Amino acid sequence: MKYSYISHLYCPKCGNTYNTSEQHQLCSCGAPLLVDYKWDQLKAELKREDVTARKGDLWRYHELLPVEEEQNVITLGEGMTPLVSMPALGKDMGVEHLYMKDEGLVPTGTFKARGAAVGVSKAKEVGVTELAMPTNGNAGAAWALYAARAGIASTIVMPVDAPVITRNEVAIAGANLYLVDGLISDAGKIVGKAVKEHGLYDASTLKEPYRIEGKKTMGLEIAEQMDWEMPDVILYPTGGGVGLIGIYKALNELKKLGWVEGKLPRLVAVQATGCAPIVKAWKENKKESEFWPDSTTLAFGINVPKALGDFLVLEALYETEGCAIAIDDETMLEEQQTIARLEGAFICPEGAAAFAAIRELKQTGWIKEGEKVVALNTGAGIKYPDTVEIKIPILEKDGSIGAPNSI
Amino acid sequence: MKYSYISHLYCPKCGNTYNTSEQHQLCSCGAPLLVDYKWDQLKAELKREDVTARKGDLWRYHELLPVEEEQNVITLGEGMTPLVSMPALGKDMGVEHLYMKDEGLVPTGTFKARGAAVGVSKAKEVGVTELAMPTNGNAGAAWALYAARAGIASTIVMPVDAPVITRNEVAIAGANLYLVDGLISDAGKIVGKAVKEHGLYDASTLKEPYRIEGKKTMGLEIAEQMDWEMPDVILYPTGGGVGLIGIYKALNELKKLGWVEGKLPRLVAVQATGCAPIVKAWKENKKESEFWPDSTTLAFGINVPKALGDFLVLEALYETEGCAIAIDDETMLEEQQTIARLEGAFICPEGAAAFAAIRELKQTGWIKEGEKVVALNTGAGIKYPDTVEIKIPILEKDGSIGAPNSI
């Protein structure tokens, strides 16, 4: 048994292939590269039971991940997050079988840790010593911290409006941190110049091929946690869309292995009404999205006006007969509060958008009676303290309180 | 097989016993009550392998927990947090076998979720509909959210200086939240009055018997994750001390079951120099601590001037030949930064204090060459954004950066 059954990199646009022992970024045609594995060998040599007997982190799927030598694995115990049943919320929405995959329970508090763990590990394996990336905050935090653990220097550029807590994470990791008075697209241009001038490894979304492999483990785990029966619908808050592409890739890979059977779940891309390029493209039945001008939403993680992998996201929606839907900020915040009150989960606004989408899709009949529905909560609510507005009475030391409100 | 092998409650001071089907608070003698189990039956009917084959949360140990009907379990997937190897930090300290049990990876981002999950579940089982508690922030956040999931109303009182993020968690859960212009001891007095006046269930630290059962799962998991070989030393940031008492209880219970053998690890209570009542009592070889006046530390979670369970903490230290040690705030913050830079883990100041204690205890020779050492990180660094001081350059949209610093 090998640690990884990785085979090669390939371009989903032009079909070009690349080896996995050298550093690669985009394909020469400009498209993102994807990882392929030795499926025949894998099918013969790896069983579901081998995987499920292992430790509860994403590395239990190491044969399906790109890192070839175990010693290169950089881990903080990320993955195998809980799939939480949401019965009270489900009742409130009329969705009997409702689940949350809670990505708040990983290092750095968001799903970005999965991509960073696998991406940084593989970067170490191919000899990277300095990387750079633009970020809306959470990805930069995760990559800076995992890079620190790997002994790789990192340069992170984020908008001044990105969540303050993510600055602190990048700073304490010892990364080179810059703020830009603009959007993530402006940060991307600055990183692009630095990569060229200083010979850095470009860890921007989909500009290196391995982050998506980390994120696909969300799909692998959902299948495992549902006893290898796929749900009917999976909803994903979609900015760059790598999580959704990853889940789609994962489920297809599990089908190749024969570990799951039947139709794939209908995948749903959830965006904010203030930044919904994928939704627009899907409604117009297009294969690619257009840049969304003046994008704005408090769900910072999905404020991505044009995603490099938009064509892959749209392909996943079309192929699974899924859909794309936009939620406004006010509705997200209402749903976030409803979820906390009914289920005791304080989730991020992006995750709340996914649940608000379920509510709407059930009302319109797109989600049918009795279907099994999984929403990804992409991060912990504690990373977004400003989404909660409160007024609280302050008591003197010897004060007392009136009769408390019941539920 | 029963879901729980709970037997009865007993008082560790006067020996009085109580049933587990009714609501109980303290013993009539004023001491906290502890839970006992049916050890002979457990030993005959439960095997280690039964437990380790189960789902990765703390309920895998349900036979050793107090909830008798599975339907009363209130869970968000808490527990089975990673035991992370810390090789670079260990090298820096001269401790070859160094591990972090990372309690940041639970709902609400701190270990308090364990106590809340088990405490709230059992509260539901014994018919509680309204609870109240004073808190330094994190416990209140956890109890408010789990209570919301259980449909139990909660009243939470915290100092105005408690971390703002924890206020938001309590508020979004729909709890009755009050701030007090004082310390947790003042909040405790207000809660005491409210409990009496309005007939609420008092969920204060150790005033109900079940929170400690949730926290003991940290000890069960450490033993399991080390393949049932106990480490030499376990360090715990100690405020109320329930986590340490719980770990001590857990390891003794595993010995009763024959799942671990030999000497217990030496347990170490780590406090802040600005609030070190347990350290003072241990140095003076006393059985109880005295109220620490004008306590102050930025590690808010361990700012507890007098713990109700102090005598149990001290017993655990004496019985295991452990010790107690105080760390100043500046040293904690330095260690916090070192840990982020060397290991990529952004941990809370309380957790950093435990690592700083290891560094000091290795220097003094109390921790010996080759010993296996486990530190509990009790919470995620992202809950304490103000512990990181940063200065960051802000670039214009078309700006560029110089050659980045290497590591």
Indicate the residue type of B345.
A
pLDDT at A390: 79
pLDDT at B385: 82
Three-state DSSP at A20 gives coil
The predicted model gives A243-253 an average pLDDT of: 98
Please indicate whether, in this complex, the C-beta atoms of B200 and A152 are within 8 angstroms of each other: no
pLDDT of residue B389 exceeding 90: no
Q: State the best of A81, A145, A157, A168 to mutate against chain B, taking most chain B CBs within 10 Å.
A: A168
Query: Residue B153 is nearest to which of A186, A394, A405, comparing CB atoms?
Result: A405
pLDDT of residue A400 exceeding 90: no
Q: Which residue on chain A is closest to B388 by alpha carbon?
A: A168
Reported as a pLDDT band with limits 50, 70 and 90, residue A395 is confident
Please indicate whether, in this complex, the C-beta atoms of B397 and A182 are within 8 angstroms of each other: yes
Q: By 3-state DSSP, what share of chain A in percent is helix, strand and coil, each rounded to 5? A: 40, 15, 40
Which residues does residue B271 pair with via DSSP β-bridges, in sequence order? B326
Q: State the best of B149, B183, B195, B383 to mutate against chain A, taking most chain A CBs within 10 Å.
A: B149
pLDDT at B85: 98
The Cα of B212 is separated from the nearest Cα of chain A by a number of Å equal to 21
pLDDT of residue A349 exceeding 80: yes
Please indicate whether, in this complex, the C-beta atoms of B177 and A105 are within 8 angstroms of each other: no
pLDDT at B372: 98
pLDDT at A397: 84
Reported as a pLDDT band with limits 50, 70 and 90, residue B403 is confident
Please indicate whether, in this complex, the C-beta atoms of A155 and B404 are within 8 angstroms of each other: yes
Three-state DSSP at B388 gives coil
Widest distance between CA atoms in chain A: 74
Q: Which residues of chain B are within 8 Å of residue A194 when distances are taken between CB atoms?
A: 400-401, 404
8 A C-beta contact, residue A372 and residue A86: no
Q: Which residues of chain B are within 8 Å of residue A335 when distances are taken between CB atoms?
A: none
Please indicate whether, in this complex, the C-beta atoms of A340 and B172 are within 8 angstroms of each other: yes
Distance from C-alpha of A319 to C-alpha of A304, rounded to nearest angstrom: 23
The Cα of B178 is separated from the nearest Cα of chain A by a number of Å equal to 6
Question: For B349-364, how does the pLDDT look when each residue is reduced to its tens digit (9 = 90+)?
Answer: 999 999 999 999 999 9
The Cα of B401 is separated from the nearest Cα of chain A by a number of Å equal to 7
Please indicate whether, in this complex, the C-beta atoms of A105 and B102 are within 8 angstroms of each other: no
Query: Residue A404 is nearest to which of B155, B171, B189, comparing CB atoms?
Result: B155
pLDDT of residue A284 exceeding 80: yes
Q: By 3-state DSSP, what share of chain B in percent is helix, strand and coil, each rounded to 5? A: 40, 15, 40
**Residue B170 exposure: Cα atoms within 13 Å on the Cβ side:** 29
Distance from C-alpha of A255 to C-alpha of A46, rounded to nearest angstrom: 14
Please indicate whether, in this complex, the C-beta atoms of B190 and A401 are within 8 angstroms of each other: yes
The predicted model gives B241-265 an average pLDDT of: 97
Distance from C-alpha of B185 to C-alpha of A73, rounded to nearest angstrom: 46
Domains in chain A with CATH codes: 83-109+214-384 (3.40.50.1100)
Query: Which strands, in side-by-side order, build the sheet including B233-237?
Result: B83-85, B97-102, B372-377, B233-237, B266-272, B323-327
pLDDT of residue A301 exceeding 80: yes
Q: Which residues of chain A are within 8 Å of residue B177 when distances are taken between CB atoms?
A: 390, 392
Q: Which residue on chain B is closest to A387 by alpha carbon?
A: B168
**Arithmetic mean of pLDDT over chain B:** 96
Q: Give ipTM to 2 decimals.
A: 0.95
Query: Residue B82 is nearest to which of A76, A150, A381, comparing CB atoms?
Result: A76
Question: For A120-172, how does the pLDDT look when each residue is reduced to its tens digit (9 = 90+)?
Answer: 999 999 999 999 999 999 999 999 999 999 999 999 999 998 888 999 999 99
The CA–CA distances, whole Å, from A391 to A211, A368, B176 equal: 41, 40, 11
Please indicate whether, in this complex, the C-beta atoms of B382 and A407 are within 8 angstroms of each other: no
Query: Residue B168 is nearest to which of A146, A345, A390, comparing CB atoms?
Result: A390
Which residues does residue B179 pair with via DSSP β-bridges, in sequence order? A394, B158
Three-state DSSP at A350 gives helix
Beta strands per DSSP E along B175-251? 176-180, 201-202, 233-237
Query: Residue A388 is nearest to which of B80, B153, B168, comparing CB atoms?
Result: B168
Please indicate whether, in this complex, the C-beta atoms of B167 and A392 are within 8 angstroms of each other: yes
Query: Residue B388 is nearest to which of A151, A172, A383, comparing CB atoms?
Result: A172
Structure-block tokens of residue A173: 């990791």
8 A C-beta contact, residue B395 and residue B401: yes
Q: Which residues are CB-contacts of A392 (< 8 A; sequence separation ≥ 6)?
A: B167, B171, B177, B178, B179
Structure-block tokens of residue B338: 């070192």
Question: For B103-129, how does the pLDDT look when each residue is reduced to its tens digit (9 = 90+)?
Answer: 999 999 999 999 999 999 999 999 999
- State the count of interchain CB pairs (< 8 A) between A and B: 274
Q: Which residues of chain B are within 8 Å of residue A157 when distances are taken between CB atoms?
A: 395, 401
pLDDT at A388: 84
Please indicate whether, in this complex, the C-beta atoms of B385 and A164 are within 8 angstroms of each other: yes
8 A C-beta contact, residue A109 and residue A201: no
Query: Residue B107 is nearest to which of A105, A108, A395, comparing CB atoms?
Result: A105
Q: Which residues of chain B are within 8 Å of residue A345 when distances are taken between CB atoms?
A: 76, 107, 145, 149
Reported as a pLDDT band with limits 50, 70 and 90, residue A371 is very high
Query: Residue A397 is nearest to which of B148, B181, B407, comparing CB atoms?
Result: B181
Q: Which residue on chain B is closest to A394 by alpha carbon?
A: B179
pLDDT of residue B402 exceeding 90: no
Query: Residue A77 is nearest to which of B105, B390, B395, comparing CB atoms?
Result: B105
8 A C-beta contact, residue A205 and residue A308: yes
The CA–CA distances, whole Å, from A199 to A4, A107, A261 equal: 29, 29, 45
Please indicate whether, in this complex, the C-beta atoms of A153 and B407 are within 8 angstroms of each other: yes
Query: Residue A382 is nearest to which of B177, B178, B383, comparing CB atoms?
Result: B383
Distance from C-alpha of B101 to C-alpha of A146, rounded to nearest angstrom: 18
Q: Which residues are CB-contacts of B386 (< 8 A; sequence separation ≥ 6)?
A: none
- Which contacts qualify for B249-253: CB closer than 8 Å, 24 or more apart? B249/B34, B249/B212, B249/B216, B249/B219, B250/B216, B250/B217, B250/B218, B250/B219, B250/B220, B250/B223, B251/B219, B251/B223, B253/B37, B253/B64, B253/B216, B253/B220
pLDDT of residue A398 exceeding 80: yes
The Cα of A130 is separated from the nearest Cα of chain B by a number of Å equal to 7
Beta strands per DSSP E along B1-152? 6-10, 17-18, 34-37, 83-85, 97-102, 130-134
Question: For B60-94, how does the pLDDT look when each residue is reduced to its tens digit (9 = 90+)?
Answer: 999 999 999 999 999 999 999 999 999 999 999 99
Q: State the best of B152, B172, B334, B347 to mutate against chain A, taking most chain A CBs within 10 Å.
A: B172
Q: State the best of A172, A180, A226 to mutate against chain B, taking most chain B CBs within 10 Å.
A: A172
